[in-house]
């Protein structure tokens, strides 16, 4: 391979490696200071819908707070799995309470790494409902969402990436 072709490929490989390292370490270029959960997710580039939802639900400041928090973060692709129009409907101001209930169902108080989460088998979310965490033949799951990347450290907690949006169980109607 000629040097002419090697240099651009090497730069691209280094850029990709640096991006992955930055996401994994939860750091920003801001004097080496570790980023919080929100900034770490935004920097990853695959959580644009989650970031918009957090903003619409006025939860950005809360997740930038001291914590610590554990966030099961659905990717943009996870939001795309929802029925057409769902995200747009949830982002409307009149649906803020429902959006908040869904988003807080993705957050657990405390910093829980993947090993501890699997060992516990369940966790109480900030909306008060429980999620089930288990190892299956298809890999580790939170409810029916697959854990696709775990233990991304942020200054105020930890992020576990999931492939499906978690929907809290509906309240059962009184008989």
Contact indicator for 50, 74 with CB cutoff of 8 Å: yes
pTM of the model: 0.79
Q: Angle, nearest 10°, between helix axes 48-56 and 96-104?
A: 130
Alpha carbons 39 and 28: distance in angstroms, whole number: 8
22 has pLDDT over 70: no
Write the CB contacts of 96 (distance below 8 Å, at least 6 apart in sequence). Answer: 56, 57, 58
Question: What domains can you pick out in the chain, each with its CATH number?
Answer: 3-162 (2.30.180.10)
> End-to-end CA distance of the chain, in Å?
74
Q: Which residues pair with 135 in a beta bridge?
A: 140
| 108-143 pLDDT per residue, tens | 999 999 999 999 999 999 999 999 999 999 899 999
Of 108 and 21, the structure prediction assigns the larger pLDDT to: 108
The angle subtended at Cα 119 by Cα 104 and Cα 66, nearest 5°, is 40
């Amino acid at each position: 391979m000629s040097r002419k072709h090697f240099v651009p490929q090497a730069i691209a490989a280094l850029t990709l490696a640096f991006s992955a390292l930055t996401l994994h370490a939860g750091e920003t270029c801001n004097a080496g200071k570790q980023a919080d959960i929100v900034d770490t997710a935004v920097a990853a580039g695959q959580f644009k819908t989650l970031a918009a939802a957090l903003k619409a639900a006025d939860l950005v400041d809360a997740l930038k707070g001291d914590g610590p928090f554990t966030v099961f973060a659905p990717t943009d692709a996870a939001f795309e799995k929802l029925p057409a129009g769902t995200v747009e409907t949830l982002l409307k101001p009149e649906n803020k309470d429902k959006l908040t209930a869904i988003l807080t169902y993705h957050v657990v108080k405390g910093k829980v790494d993947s090993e501890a989460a699997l060992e516990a088998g369940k966790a109480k979310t900030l909306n008060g409902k429980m999620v089930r965490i288990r190892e299956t033949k298809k890999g580790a799951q939170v409810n029916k969402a697959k854990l696709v990347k775990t233990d991304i450290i942020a200054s105020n907690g930890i992020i576990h990436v999931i492939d499906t949006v978690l929907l809290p169980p509906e309240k059962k109607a009184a008989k």
